[in-house]
Structure 1
């Protein structure tokens, strides 16, 4: 497979998103405090300059994508300006770097997607990269559980971070199976689905189940939905030994983390106190908010683990008014799941951000929004493969139903 410069650009761009706040000193090898995202960001900018120098022009893009891009930047600009509304400029300044980094990252993403002649090449490249990355997350999860751990982990990332990448990989596996019709992608998708449960992140599991359910419902009215696709029987039967081998581990984590802490006896893990304090603080200045990094300034702690609460704390109703179109667009994309399964991803990020994380963890929302919105003009698939998609998703959800029994 020939790799062109644009694909290399996308590779480093995605690595910039994935690197988060990972510091080289955490490896114990380098005696230097340097977050790797800056290395990948520099590489991304350098490659883009090389591409632009070769007279590659930016392609036109639909108005909805432009609106999403401008609205995202407007919201981030308001956040930067809200620094002057903070009661503690020292604490507020801790977040400025993250916001400015997001401005640059979103700008690079917007320019990168406009370098591609068609969305088919871009989406396929992105999905392959995320699938490969998800394998590096999936394998340690499986090994840790098989080694006796009570839930899956990778050692260097929290469960919420790991679950997000695994779900991206799952959607990538579904997409690539639809695209290439190779059993390998189906089996990898099954393993990724199992790994999501094994990690045991309640918010991640709930969001994944909801999104897979939406993908099912989006296609349930098709006339050929109930027809048997015999081509899928082979990968389905091939996946059964995998499910059987991991069943006991799967059932144990699912029962303890999901049924035990969500269904039988809801465990808030302090989120109820965080929510109560946040709402009280929002009420003190509901219109303009309390400025940048308001949760740390006014309440103490890192962040409220809910993106809507974070918006209201920092920018009040004014900020929510600017942020609301982004939410609406992620919901509107659900109407276009028949175009591509990846249209579920902005909504998925919105869902998981209701349970955990902060604005910088929310960065994937901007990535998937900018990648999926252009699809409303140009479908990425060569032909309609939704029948395979329906049956594949149905088999994954059936595994979940068996766990509940």
Structure 2
């Protein structure tokens, strides 16, 4: 087995998504080094390995399927808009830098290195990601730092991974633990996967961010319906609700023991409709889109509420940045990916665990995150679009039937 195959089957996914990143970001805190040393070093490694995979990829690059062609068009339109905003347009002071453009280009480079390969979805890839992410979150449980004011009752995993990303990493572990429990049975799986699921829940609670809770619920519901059909899906969702109901007291006590304010924040959102100002940000960003609806306005909010920040919603950001010229193709691309994701999960395609992570990123993008900096979104979008059903295989053995 050559180095190329070993890398793809074991490390490529984890290098680019969460787990290895979480592990290495503890190094600066432990050694007292600037976090930028590790961050930039990791980006160099990711970019170099992406170039390596793109060069060695077996398929001819001009043989793109229609989904991949749509991805190239959408990302090109977005790239052109960021380039114009950074270099040609008179943008507001202290907003937008060439670093944003470079970061986006690197995200697309990494995305191209995620053209579907069965090595990426192998059991080796899955378990390396599961184990490395679990180790990272276990370390974070003990080394997590209280988030700076005005955030109260929330924790950052370390000086690099903030409370929101910490919670999303816990959500990822919970999701792939559910997937593993249902698809990868072995001698101790009935013990291991629930324990790792609990570690994911504890990480979400300790982080104190609300969005991972919403994401976990919505992705799990989507998965149950896709995997089991309408009737069984309703049954599984109903059973999950009952279990959740009888676990509320335990979860509240657990969150209090962790010093987390997540329960208080969730109750506030439910009872008062508190949104952390997201509704005002959305309204302002939509207004900027309407100022230039055809070609878009700017990739960051140029004025008003949340000036200099992203809109905290992928769709609003796409239309605000690229107008209907890029916003409509972007919406079509997402619709295709979601439909394809449902089919992949229902057909028990081995990529299912990666599909769940994409759905997590997509739903998370409705509340936070930005398109121009979301390497995860672009890479997994291209990955799913590049899957050819005629070449896929389904899991027929070692499968837990619901």
Match of 1:366 in 2: 378
Confirm or deny that 1:347 pairs with 2:349: no
Contact 1:167 1:208 (C-alpha < 8 Å) held by counterparts: yes
Provide the residue aligned with 1:199 in structure 2: 207
The match for 1:383 is: 396
Which of these residues, 311, 321, 335, is aligned with residue 314 of structure 1? 321
Q: Does 1:248 align with 2:253?
A: yes
Which aligned pairs between 1:36-185 and structure 2 lie closer than 5 A?
36-47=38-49, 57-59=57-59, 63=65, 66-67=68-69, 69-83=71-85, 86-88=89-91, 91=94, 93-94=96-97, 96-111=98-113, 113=115, 116=117, 119=118, 122-139=121-138, 142-143=141-142, 150-151=153-154, 153-156=156-159, 157-177=161-181, 178-181=183-186, 182-183=189-190, 184-185=192-193
CA distance in 2, matches of 1:248, 1:298: 37
The answer to whether the 8 A contact 2:79-2:104 is kept is no
Q: Is the Cα–Cα contact under 8 Å of residues 112 and 382 in structure 2 kept in the other structure?
A: yes
State the 1:293 CA deviation.
3.0
Please say if residues 287 and 318 of structure 1, whose CA atoms lie closer than 8 Å, have aligned partners that are also in contact. yes
Contact 2:110-2:375 within 8 A present in 1 as well = no
Per-residue displacement from partner, 1:113-159 (whole Å, max 9, x unpaired)?
46x4xx155443443343234324533564489x9x94554243222
1:257 aligns with 2:257: no
Return 5+ residue gaps in structure 2 as ranges.
147-151, 237-246
Deviates more, 1:371-380 or 1:317-326: 371-380
Post-superposition offset of 1:26: 7.1
1:210, distance to aligned residue in structure 2 (A): 1.0
Q: In structure 2, do the counterparts of structure 1 residues 296 and 130 end up closer, same or farther at CA, with 3 Å as the change threshold?
A: farther
Alignment partner, residue 32 of structure 2: 29
- Cα gap change, 1:40 to 1:16, in 2 (>3 Å): farther
Q: Distance in 2 between matches of 1:75 and 1:125?
A: 36
CA contact (8 A) 2:104 2:373 kept: no
Alignment pair present for 1:214 and 2:213: no
Higher helix share: 1
Matched pairs, number: 367
Taking the aligned partners of 1:285 and 1:226, their CA distance within structure 2 comes to: 43
User: Residue 16 and residue 304 in structure 1: after superposition, are their counterparts in 2 closer, same or farther (change >3 A)?
Assistant: same
State the secondary structure of the residue aligned to 2:184: helix
Match of 1:189 in 2: 197
Equivalents in 1 of 2:196, 2:26: separation in Å?
A: 30
Task: Report how far residue 212 of structure 1 moved.
Answer: 0.7
Contact between 2:362 and 2:377, CA under 8 Å: does it hold in 1? yes
2-side partners of 1:335 and 1:318: how far apart?
Answer: 27
What displacement does 1:347 show?
A: 2.8
* Inter-CA distance 364–111: structure 2 relative to 1 (3 Å threshold): closer
| 1:137-188 deviation line (CA, Å, top 9, x unaligned) | 533564489x9x9455424322221122222222332333422432313321
Per-residue deviation, 1:247: 5.9
Q: TM-score, normalised by structure 2?
A: 0.73
Normalising by structure 1, report the TM-score. Answer: 0.72
CA distances 1:162-221 after superposition (whole Å, capped 9, x unpaired): 122222222332333422432313321233134324433222211211111111222343
Q: Deviations over 1:341-393 (max 9, x none)?
A: 432332322211111122245321122223334445254654266645x5xxx
Residues 144 and 151 in structure 1, CA contact (< 8 A), matched pair in contact too? no
